[in-house]
RNA sequence: GGGCCCGUAGCUCAGCUGGUUAGAGCGCACGGCUGAUAACCGUGAGGUCGAUGGUUCGAAUCCAUCCGGGCCCA
């Protein structure tokens, strides 16, 4: 067989080193090094020096353990926002932070030490170990966040254990204290009488415990009206499993709307919930009893008095509350505000006293009356016996139920009121606006994204009780006040606060536990009550939410590159309760304004079924695994593709789909790159001189830029993804780029047609790489570095290259959009007809076809205006015949397909009738002959 | 139990203030191409819009209840 000329050599086939296979997990670390070398963070600030600033303030994750999908998602989102803003011309510093104090770290350190060593260690030593532990995980998480491509000041992050940070706590405390928003009070907390310590909820282990279960009658001293006529004494019956709390009883709580009845039994009339009479009777073993006909609502009994069960001559009061259940007990709840959370809350609502007769070791003091000196657990049987003797015990038994235990000693814990510090929601000094009012007002000034977020925030701030900010622990920032050793008075004023600020700025909060107050307080600091000068530093520490809350001062105010208020806080929806609120309250408390201009909230990461991820369900997806297997850009693309305003699912299938989408996007870029290997912007064809199809492509590119930019600006990131992806698939791959291949490959390399196309491809590449850069941070940079130097416009990184604009004349754009809507609709009919012809064996590839298209006049006119050759190119067929006629009702045109006339050009593979027209190239079509001859 | 929120094809999402046979892409099936090739192109099949009531001439869109799920409280 004769040698066929190798026409491939004469064509402009794609060339690129940009690999189809990403190999992200290997490639990404190289990119990180490159950014490190060029100091990308600093350059991202320098590039917009003097421009407007955008401050996204990082909420500090807890420095404990590795990152999980939720933290990864959150950080990627922040990075996306920061990078977008940078590219839009804002100076967008990003200072990552970590929350380093708190019970979980202290708890873990204590576990690691073990109980024996723990006993021998000082508070200062324990704090040093906690610090070490926290810093270790700061390093771990820092590396993990950076691996995700997050750009920020990782060399100098903010840590809540830094000295300046610690001092910031005092600045806010000082202001709020001065403004009368901070007060001392009492509140029940979990307390272990053996370890003599307060316990956090996380330090409580619940297990079944056998408790006493007793019913006790409290005799009314003011008889209910309904029972005025009965001759017997009338009492209310309560049920409790903690007899030892009876000395602290001050009230009985009834259900407001429930029916209560009197039961005549054994010479008494006992009042209880009607619904529970049978069960009380069973517990008491009553054989004969009579339910009186009178029925009263709980609310009707409210306000009546009864004899306190332990203390003679003392009365308690009947109140109503929502927590009263009618499933167990008697429907009348013994209420001791010092010994229970609900009792405490209802007690506060009714202004009840809060007696607390139990000391640190669990012994009754004088307030225990006859039981003074007894330990509460020992007292239980004694109390029961005592009640029996008094004749007030209605029934006694035992019950097995879930009860809290101390994680250290495994003993049951008690609930006990202790002295605590509070931020008042509704009280403040004269002339100062109360915090709740100010905070509600501030909420209205903030942009909440998504909109429902404001409801959640308002509801929480509107309802919340005073904020208890003290914790009885070691690892944290002390409450910066003093107590007079002589009289117990609190000593705190501007000069003591300032002294503490000065001390902590230099030595940190550790100094609090090392130095004596006299060493750093101004000489002459004395108790305002007794004049004593022997002062003791407060031992309680601040709630960690307070600590992270004051970052608006410790970070935003302290760092020159930042400012308060921030433009945005961006966290998961749980932070309505946490950081959003602690930031808001401390900021309003100190400055009367919110710390943020906007708050963006995202949902939680759940599995493919919408369930939370947990080890026990076995559905946990680790970002570290995904990075190792697929790359950080896959996580980033996934994060961007989901609607964050609700919970976000992740699963193997979802990540597979994401990877497929990634490959599609990557390949689109690869195609663009591979057809620009010989293009120089100097070859650019002006818009007006472009092929019409290319002008239309420019219009659709401009539309894409508009849509994507709007999506970013509206914080609808999943629409960024969707627009970009659909553009790649629908506009480019299946239409424009497919059509362009013939021109790019077969036209003369430097000819007008090919340069016109390349001008568009270059515009697409330059715009798209920027549009995806905030999301696909690694891939976009890889693309950037693969672009011809001249297209990079001098930017060392795509992150520094600014935001794309594509200008097309508006009138042209409108005309082209309309015309090409018709073209594309017709094209759809053509592809359907081609498919039928293909399955009938009439044609194989579309170039082998000649199509006859019948459509109404106006359609035909539009199609004809494009030009016959151009239309055939756009349909990727060899010839189009346009006929005016009736189109079917369901379609814009009727299309029939026939084999193309002429024969296949061996160079461009089109079927042409002008093969051999040029004698010099007898095999080729006219176009190819012309191109080849010119070589 | 309370507050806030979610539930549209296997997956990710559109469906504005209620109005013709609920859309897109992916995946899948089938086919084409072999000059984007561990790519690319085409066609097609997939949904009782969580369920049930209600309002309305008309509801995926409004209301109620229920079921399932999430966050935060209790």
pLDDT tier for residue A1 given thresholds of 50, 70 and 90? very low
Nucleotide minimizing C1' to CA distance for residue A834: B42
pLDDT, tens digit, for every residue of A893-930? 999 999 999 999 999 999 999 999 999 999 999 999 99
Secondary structure (H, E, C), A56-82: EECCCCECCCCCCHHHHHHHHHHHHHH
Secondary structure (H, E, C), A232-269: CCEEEEEEECCHHHHHHCCEEEECCCCEEEEEEECCEE
Cα separation, A727 vs A745, in Å, equals 23
| DSSP states of A262-319 | EEEETTEEEEEEGGGHHHHHHHHT-SS-EEEEEEEEHHHHTT-EEE-SSSTT-EEEEE
CB A829 within 8 A of CB A893: yes
**Model confidence, pTM:** 0.92
**Which pLDDT value is given to residue A627?**
97
> A51: helix, coil or strand?
coil
Between A371 and A342, the higher pLDDT residue: A371
**Which pLDDT value is given to residue A616?**
86
Q: Distance in angstroms, CA of A651 to C1' of B8?
A: 20
> A1: helix, coil or strand?
coil
Q: Distance in angstroms, CA of A722 to C1' of B9?
A: 18
**Which pLDDT value is given to residue A4?**
56
Dihedral class, residue A874 (left if φ above 0, else alpha if ψ from -120 to 50, else beta): alpha
Q: Spell out which residues of A between 627 and 646 contact strand B, using CB within 7 Å.
A: 641-643, 645-646
| A223 has pLDDT over 90 | no
Nearest to A76 by CA among A629, A652, A638: A638
Q: Distance in angstroms, CA of A736 to C1' of B53?
A: 51
Question: In the numeric block, which tokens belong to residue A364?
Answer: 């009754």
Cα separation, A595 vs A565, in Å, equals 5
Cβ of A15 less than 7 A from strand B: no
CB A175 within 8 A of CB A367: no
Cα separation, A404 vs A190, in Å, equals 9
C-alpha A794: how far from its chain's center? Answer: 37
β-strand A234-240 against A268-273: which pairing, if any? Answer: parallel
CB A371 within 8 A of CB A364: yes
- Helices A777-786 and A632-641: crossing angle, nearest 10°? 120
Q: Distance in angstroms, CA of A648 to C1' of B52?
A: 28
Nucleotide minimizing C1' to CA distance for residue A606: B70
Question: In the numeric block, which tokens belong to residue A755?
Answer: 């340069």
Nucleotide minimizing C1' to CA distance for residue A737: B36
For the purposes of burial, counting CB atoms within 10 Å of the CB of A34, is it exposed (0-12), middle (13-18) or buried (19 or more)? middle
CB A533 within 8 A of CB A525: yes
The average confidence (pLDDT) of chain A is 94
Q: Distance in angstroms, CA of A548 to C1' of B6?
A: 29
Burial string for A692-707 (b: 16+ CB within 10 Å, else e) reads bbbbbbbbbbbbbbeb
Please name the residues in contact with A375: beta carbons below 8 A apart, sequence gap of 6 or more: A193, A361, A362, A363
- The helix or strand, by DSSP H or E, that contains position A842, with its residue range, turns out to be none
Compute chain A's Rg from CA coordinates.
39
Cβ of A734 less than 7 A from strand B: yes
Q: Starting from the edge strand earliest in sequence, which strands make up the sheet with A849-855, in order?
A: A879-884, A849-855, A894-899
**Which pLDDT value is given to residue A3?**
45
| A102 has pLDDT over 80 | yes
Q: Distance in angstroms, CA of A813 to C1' of B49?
A: 36
How far lies A909's CA from each of A454, A638, A745, A753, A923, in Å?
62, 40, 11, 18, 11
Cα separation, A853 vs A264, in Å, equals 98
Burial string for A174-195 (b: 16+ CB within 10 Å, else e) reads bbbbbbebbeeebbbbbbbbee
Cα separation, A110 vs A108, in Å, equals 5
Q: Spell out which residues of A between 834 and 873 contact strand B, using CB within 7 Å.
A: 834-835, 838-839, 844-845
**Which pLDDT value is given to residue A322?**
76
End-to-end CA distance of chain A, in Å? 26
Question: In the numeric block, which tokens belong to residue A380?
Answer: 């239980």
- Provide mean pLDDT across the span A456-468: 92
Adjacent-strand bridge partners of A253:
A319, A333
C-alpha angle A596-A600-A602 in degrees, rounded to nearest 5: 145
Cα separation, A84 vs A56, in Å, equals 12
Q: Distance in angstroms, CA of A645 to C1' of B15?
A: 17
pLDDT, tens digit, for every residue of A636-663? 999 999 999 999 999 999 999 999 999 9
Q: Spell out which residues of A between 153 and 212 contact strand B, using CB within 7 Å.
A: none
Question: In the numeric block, which tokens belong to residue A905?
Answer: 């050009």
Cα separation, A221 vs A230, in Å, equals 14
CB A874 within 8 A of CB A739: yes
Nucleotide minimizing C1' to CA distance for residue A666: B36
Question: In the numeric block, which tokens belong to residue A479?
Answer: 């409450």
Nucleotide minimizing C1' to CA distance for residue A664: B39
pLDDT, tens digit, for every residue of A663-686? 999 999 999 999 999 999 999 999
**Which pLDDT value is given to residue A501?**
98
Count of residues in chain A = 935
pLDDT, tens digit, for every residue of A140-183? 999 999 999 999 999 999 999 999 999 999 999 999 999 999 99
Nearest to A633 by CA among A78, A61, A22, A43: A22
**Which pLDDT value is given to residue A5?**
61
pLDDT, tens digit, for every residue of A20-41? 999 999 999 999 999 999 999 9
pLDDT, tens digit, for every residue of A504-562? 999 999 999 999 999 999 999 999 999 999 999 999 999 999 999 999 999 999 999 99
pLDDT, tens digit, for every residue of A752-794? 999 999 999 999 999 999 999 999 999 999 999 999 999 999 9
Cα separation, A166 vs A411, in Å, equals 35
| DSSP states of A562-576 | --SSEEEEEEEGGGG
- Provide mean pLDDT across the span A96-102: 97
- Provide mean pLDDT across the span A863-867: 96
Please name the residues in contact with A427: beta carbons below 8 A apart, sequence gap of 6 or more: A180, A181, A183, A434
For the purposes of burial, counting CB atoms within 10 Å of the CB of A327, is it exposed (0-12), middle (13-18) or buried (19 or more)? exposed
| A2 has pLDDT over 80 | no
Predicted ipTM of the assembly: 0.97
Per-range mean pLDDT, top range of A189-198, A240-249, A753-762: A753-762
Cα separation, A698 vs A807, in Å, equals 8
Nucleotide minimizing C1' to CA distance for residue A457: B4
Cβ atoms within 10 Å, residue A221:
12
- Provide mean pLDDT across the span A557-586: 97
C-alpha A696: how far from its chain's center? Answer: 41
Per-range mean pLDDT, top range of A238-247, A307-316, A460-469, A798-807: A798-807
Between A351 and A630, the higher pLDDT residue: A630
Cβ of A725 less than 7 A from strand B: yes
Cα separation, A495 vs A211, in Å, equals 52
Cβ of A14 less than 7 A from strand B: yes
Cβ atoms within 10 Å, residue A720:
25
Cβ of A610 less than 7 A from strand B: yes
Nucleotides of B under 7 A from a protein CB: 3-7, 10-14, 24-27, 31-44, 68-74
């Amino acid at each position: 067989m004769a040698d066929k000329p190798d026409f491939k050599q004469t064509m402009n086939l794609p060339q690129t080193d940009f690999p189809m296979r990403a190999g992200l997990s290997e490639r990404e670390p190289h990119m990180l090094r490159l950014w490190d070398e060029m100091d990308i963070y600093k350059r991202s600030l320098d590039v917009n020096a003097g421009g407007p600033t955008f401050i996204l303030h990082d909420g500090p994750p807890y420095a404990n353990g590795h990152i999980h999908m939720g933290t990864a998602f959150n950080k990627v989102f922040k990075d996306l926002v920061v990078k977008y803003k940078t590219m839009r011309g804002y100076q967008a510093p990003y200072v990552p932070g970590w929350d380093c104090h708190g019970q979980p770290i202290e708890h873990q350190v204590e576990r690691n030490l073990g109980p024996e060593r723990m006993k021998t260690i000082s508070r200062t030593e324990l704090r040093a170990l906690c610090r070490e532990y926290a810093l270790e995980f700061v390093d771990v998480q820092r590396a993990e966040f950076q691996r995700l491509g997050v750009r920020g000041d990782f060399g100098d992050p903010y840590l809540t254990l830094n000295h300046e940070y610690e001092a910031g706590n005092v600045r806010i405390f000082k202001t709020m204290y001065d403004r009368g928003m901070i007060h001392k009070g009492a509140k029940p907390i979990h307390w272990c009488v053996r370890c003599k310590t307060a316990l956090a909820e996380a330090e409580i282990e619940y297990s079944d415990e056998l408790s006493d279960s007793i019913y006790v009658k409290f005799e009314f001293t003011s008889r209910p009206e309904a029972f005025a006529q009965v001759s017997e004494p009338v009492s209310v019956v309560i049920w409790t499993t903690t007899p030892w709390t009876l000395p602290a009883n001050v009230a009985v709580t009834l259900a407001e709307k429930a029916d209560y009845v009197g039961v005549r039994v054994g010479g008494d009339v006992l009042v209880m919930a009607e619904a529970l009479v049978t069960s009380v009777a069973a517990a008491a073993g009553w054989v004969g009893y009579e339910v009186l006909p009178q029925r009263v609502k709980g609310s009707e009994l409210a306000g009546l008095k009864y004899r306190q069960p332990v203390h003679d001559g003392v009365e308690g009061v009947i109140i109503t509350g929502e927590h009263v259940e009618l499933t167990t007990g008697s429907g009348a709840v013994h209420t001791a505000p010092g010994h229970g959370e609900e009792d405490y809350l209802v007690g506060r609502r009714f202004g009840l006293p809060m007696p607390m007769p139990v000391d640190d070791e669990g012994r009754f003091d004088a307030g225990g009356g006859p039981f003074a000196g007894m330990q509460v657990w020992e007292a239980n049987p004694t109390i029961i016996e005592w009640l029996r003797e008094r004749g007030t015990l209605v029934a006694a038994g035992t019950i097995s139920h879930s009860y809290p235990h101390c994680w250290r000693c495994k003993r049951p814990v008690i609930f006990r009121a202790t002295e605590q510090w509070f931020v008042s929601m509704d009280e403040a000094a004269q002339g100062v606006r109360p915090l709740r009012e100010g905070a509600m007002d501030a909420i209205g000034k903030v942009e909440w994204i998504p909109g429902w977020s404001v409801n959640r925030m308002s509801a929480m701030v509107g309802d919340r009780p005073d904020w208890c900010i003290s914790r009885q622990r070691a690892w944290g920032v002390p409450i910066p006040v003093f107590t007079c050793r002589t009289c117990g008075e609190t000593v705190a004023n501007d000069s003591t606060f300032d002294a503490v600020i000065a001390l902590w700025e230099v030595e940190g909060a550790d100094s609090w536990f090392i130095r004596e107050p006299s060493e750093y307080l101004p000489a002459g600091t004395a108790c305002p009550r007794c004049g004593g000068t022997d002062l003791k530093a407060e031992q309680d520490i601040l709630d960690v939410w307070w600590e992270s809350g004051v970052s608006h001062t410790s970070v935003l105010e302290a760092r020159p590159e930042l400012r308060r208020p921030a433009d945005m806080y961006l966290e998961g929806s749980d932070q309505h309760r946490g950081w959003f609120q602690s930031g808001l309250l401390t900021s309003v408390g100190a400055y009367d304004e919110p710390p943020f201009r906007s708050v963006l909230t995202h949902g939680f990461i759940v599995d493919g079924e919408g369930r939370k991820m947990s080890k026990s369900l076995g559905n946990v997806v680790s970002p570290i695994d995904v990075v190792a297997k697929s790359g950080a850009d896959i996580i980033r693309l996934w994060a961007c593709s989901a609607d964050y305003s609700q919970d976000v699912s992740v699963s193997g299938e979802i990540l597979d789909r994401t990877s497929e989408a990634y490959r599609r996007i990557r390949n689109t870029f690869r195609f663009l790159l591979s057809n620009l290997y010989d293009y120089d912007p100097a070859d650019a064809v002006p818009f007006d001189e472009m092929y019409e199809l290319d002008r239309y492509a420019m219009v659709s590119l401009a539309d894409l830029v508009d849509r994507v930019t709007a999506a970013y600006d509206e914080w609808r990131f999943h629409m960024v993804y969707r627009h970009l992806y659909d553009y790649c698939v629908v506009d480019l791959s299946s239409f424009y780029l497919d059509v362009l291949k013939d021109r790019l490959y077969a036209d003369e390399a430097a000819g007008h047609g090919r340069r016109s196309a390349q001008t568009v491809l270059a515009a697409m590449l330059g715009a798209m790489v920027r549009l995806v850069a905030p999301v696909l941070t690694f891939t976009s940079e890889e693309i950037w570095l693969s672009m011809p130097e001249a297209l990079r416009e001098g930017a060392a990184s795509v992150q520094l290259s600014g935001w794309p604009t594509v200008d097309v004349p508006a009138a042209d754009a409108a005309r082209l959009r309309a015309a090409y809507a018709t073209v594309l609709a017709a094209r759809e009919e053509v592809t359907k007809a081609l498919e039928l012809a293909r399955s009938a064996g009439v044609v194989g590839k579309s170039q082998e076809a000649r199509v006859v298209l019948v459509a109404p006049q106006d359609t035909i006119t539009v199609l004809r205006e494009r030009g016959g050759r151009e239309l055939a190119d756009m349909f990727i067929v060899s010839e189009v015949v346009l006929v005016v006629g009736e189109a079917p009702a369901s379609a814009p045109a009727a299309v029939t397909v026939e084999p193309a006339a002429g024969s296949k050009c061996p160079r461009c593979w089109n079927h042409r009738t002008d093969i051999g027209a040029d004698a010099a190239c007898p095999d080729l079509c006219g176009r190819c002959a012309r191109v080849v001859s010119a070589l």
